[in-house]
Amino acid sequence: MEPTGGELPRWNREAAEAIHDLPFNDLLFRAQAVHRAYFDQNRVQLSRLLSIKTGGCPEDCGYCSQSAHYPSGLKASKLMEVGRVVAEARKARDAGATRYCMGAAWRGPKERDMDAIVAMIEGVKALGMETCMTLGMLDPGQAQRLKQAGLDYYNHNIDTSERYYGEIISTRTFADRLETLGHIREAGMKVCCGGIIGMGEEKADRIDMLVTLANLPEPPESVPINMLIPIGGTPLGQSEPIDPIEFVRAIALARIMMPKSYVRLSAGRTAMSDEMQALCFFAGANSIFVGDTLLTAENPQEDKDCALFSRLGIKPMDREAQ
57 is catalytic: yes
Instruction: Give the 3-state secondary structure of the chain.
Output: CCCCCCCCCCCCHHHHHHHHCCCHHHHHHHHHHHHHHHCCCCEEEEEEEEEEECCCECCCCCCCCCECCCCCCCCCCCCCCHHHHHHHHHHHHHCCCCEEEEEECCCCCCHHHHHHHHHHHHHHHCCCCEEEEECCCCCHHHHHHHHHHCCCEEECCCECCHHHHHHHCCCCCHHHHHHHHHHHHHHCCEEECCEEECCCCCHHHHHHHHHHHHCCCCCCCEEEEEECCCCCCCCCCCCCCCCHHHHHHHHHHHHHHCCCCEEEECCCHHHCCHHHHHHHHHCCCCEEEECCEECCEECCCHHHHHHHHHHHCCEECCHHHC
Of the residues 101, 145, 177, 249, only one is catalytic, namely 101
Provide the CA 136 distance to its chain's centre, in angstroms.
14
Of the residues 64, 93, 99, 255, only one is catalytic, namely 64
Of the residues 30, 57, 99, 269, only one is catalytic, namely 57
Residue type, 233: G
306 is catalytic: no
Of the residues 99, 145, 177, 192, only one is catalytic, namely 192
Cβ-defined contacts of 298-306 (< 8 Å, 24+): 298/229, 298/270, 299/267, 299/269, 299/270, 300/269, 300/270, 302/95
Of the residues 99, 132, 177, 193, only one is catalytic, namely 132
193 is catalytic: no
* Residue 257, beta-bridge partner list: none
Of the residues 172, 264, 269, 280, only one is catalytic, namely 264
280 is catalytic: no
Of the residues 61, 93, 206, 249, only one is catalytic, namely 61
How far, in Å, CA of 318 to CA of 44, rounded? Answer: 9
61 is catalytic: yes
What residues are labeled active site? 57, 61, 64, 101, 132, 192, 264
